[in-house]
Structure 1
Amino acid sequence: MPENPVDKHPRPDFPEQDQQHPGWTGPMDPPPDHGEDSYEGSGLLRDRKALVTGGDSGIGRAVALAYAREGADVLFTYLPEEEQDAAETARLVEEAGRKAVAAVCDIREEEQCRRLVQRAVDEFGRIDILVNNAAYQMSQPDGIAAISTEQFDRVVRTNLYGMFWLSKMALPHMPSGGSIINTTSVQAYKPSPHLLDYAMTKGAIVTFTQGLAQMVAADGIRVNAVAPGPVWTPLIPATLPDTAEFGKQSPLGRPAQPAEMAPAFVFLASPRASFITAEILNATGGIPLP
């Protein structure tokens, strides 16, 4: 029987919860669903080599799991504080019978990005799929006056510099048929005032995606992005002051679970999307976008 998407996953109100950045999966209530018990692969990415940033939890973990079950080996990044979550992602990838490489990397640093790409090449010989997913946000309900230069710099360097460097560095190691997939957001089109700097970067990711796609199309490399709406990840209790009603504003009345984002990343990386490039796949739970 078809499942009603309104009732498929937990709906707010959720228990109030607060975490320090970067946030962890374990304390979240309800626990996020990454597809552990539901995602079934069909060989769409057999023997592909993927690099996924921010793969320890949230959307990144769901993508790593789905890619592995579709037949890909996965190198993913995490921050030192996220080691426990990273170990679980690695376990899920290996449980699917694929190679998992967990790499500590702060993508705000150019040299760390360079070493990351080289490690992926050393481990796999090439990079077939690059998923620029890692991101930083911090709510500032008091507006632009409360956004410090330190915060602004962290948001921009994480969300834009890292994506730029990794794309630039990975492209020489990507064969024809390769794919870059960036994570943008509904915030790119409908910015929340308390996430001004974050929303700005997500708009820039849309432009970068569409421009780079045209630049590398002749090389047989596709560049697309996924624009999620509200998704229940550790970033939410770690960066937003009120989690009880998170996702309630979507027409489906709830946030997405990370597992609901993964199929979009699989599709865009797969041969089934061979004529799709420079596109933004919106997965917003019904929030209309331009």
Structure 2
Amino acid sequence: MKNRTALITGGASGIGKKTAILLAEKGCQVIINYRNSEAEAISLAKHLEHCYGTKCLAVQGDVALEEDCIRIVNKSMSVFKTIDILIHNAGPYIHERKKMTEYSSDEWNYLIHGNLSAAFHLSKQVIPIMRKQKWGRIITLGYDRVETSPGWIFRSAFAAAKTGLASLTRTIALEEAENGITANMICPGDITNDWKEKSIQDALVAEKYTTNTGTGRQGTGEDIARVISFLVEEKSDFITGSIIPVTGGIDVLGKALKHH
């Protein structure tokens, strides 16, 4: 992966941060997009440059806004010659549990724009760059069973956006295959809060003290980052249009319903 450049939206923390670290470790140059976490993004970029000797950049921008998507790509291109890999990891989410009718138009628009339209605006900017070099990798993030467009109680806007994103990801895969560009979606299981930045080793240690079901251990950001890192490799070009669950075999939506 040496000298490939990866743009990771929402890369300053969580799964995005774990992915940035893993790709830098492989020799990728990394562009870390952030909305508010300026200090974290800059510190991560410096840390990656120092540890792995790879060039990194922190770029502010809210992917829910079209003009910010354009600015993020322009800023990245002014520093790097190309963008080889786009990881659309940023995804606004409203934790409050409420029915569709209780969503305001602003909330609805923000979730649809941040989770779905952002992928359109960013891909529209980067695909022509990838076409030129006949090589590209686009990764989006979904949720468990998203390809079956299931209902998700109290998550109407988020679920609708991600379901649309699953279809969009597969369409990009079909349209851009001739240009050496792949597009895949990864669907993380129930990876919460701190676990998004933890390693598999952390989970194995914690497992000794819990009686979790499923695989018996907690999912981590590293579990997702490893799959992303595999999909962006040169030899992973045959994997495209895939929606890959990384859930530890746990039924995430079923769990959501039980809590109801």
Q: What is the TM-score normalised by the length of structure 2?
A: 0.83
More helix by share: 2
Q: Which runs of structure 1 show a deviation greater than 4 angstroms over 4 or more consecutive aligned residues?
A: none
Change (3 A) 1:177 1:265: same
Supply the distance in 1 between the matched residues of 2:44 and 2:25 (Cα, whole angstroms). Answer: 13
1:198 aligns with 2:154: no
| Identical counterparts, % of pairs | 30
Give the AA of the match of 2:180.
G
1:78 aligns with 2:41: no
Aligned-residue RMSD, C-alpha:
2.2
Q: 2:46 aligns with which of 91, 98, 103?
A: 91
Supply the distance in 2 between the matched residues of 1:283 and 1:123 (Cα, whole angstroms). Answer: 34
Residue 234 of structure 1 deviates from its aligned partner by: 6.5
Supply the distance in 2 between the matched residues of 1:78 and 1:234 (Cα, whole angstroms). Answer: 18
Supply the distance in 2 between the matched residues of 1:126 and 1:134 (Cα, whole angstroms). Answer: 21
1:265 aligns with 2:221: no
- Per-residue displacement from partner, 1:183-226 (whole Å, max 9, x unpaired)? 11216255431222111111111101111110011111111111
Give the AA of the match of 1:167.
S
Q: What is the TM-score normalised by the length of structure 1?
A: 0.75
1:215 aligns with 2:175: yes
| Secondary structure at the counterpart of residue 75 of structure 1 | strand
Give the AA of the match of 1:273.
S
- The aligned counterpart of 1:153 is 109
Superposed counterparts of 1:12-91, under 5 Å? 45-80=1-36, 82-91=37-46
Supply the distance in 2 between the matched residues of 1:232 and 1:288 (Cα, whole angstroms). Answer: 15
Name the count of aligned residue pairs.
Answer: 233
Give the AA of the match of 2:177.
A
Larger RCO, structures 1/2 (Cα 8 Å, 6+ apart) = 1
Residue 54 of structure 1 deviates from its aligned partner by: 0.4
Residue 255 of structure 1 deviates from its aligned partner by: 4.2
Q: Does the aligned pair in 1 maintain the 2:152–2:159 contact within 8 Å?
A: yes
Superposed counterparts of 1:145-184, under 5 Å? 145-174=101-130, 175-184=133-142
- The aligned counterpart of 2:207 is none
Q: Does the aligned pair in 2 maintain the 1:225–1:281 contact within 8 Å?
A: yes
Structure 1 residues not aligned, in runs of 5+:
1-44, 237-247
Change (3 A) 1:142 1:183: closer
Q: Does the aligned pair in 2 maintain the 1:185–1:227 contact within 8 Å?
A: yes
- The aligned counterpart of 2:257 is none
1:105 aligns with 2:61: yes
Residue 177 of structure 1 deviates from its aligned partner by: 2.2
Q: 1:274 aligns with which of 216, 237, 241?
A: 237
Q: Does the aligned pair in 2 maintain the 1:177–1:221 contact within 8 Å?
A: yes
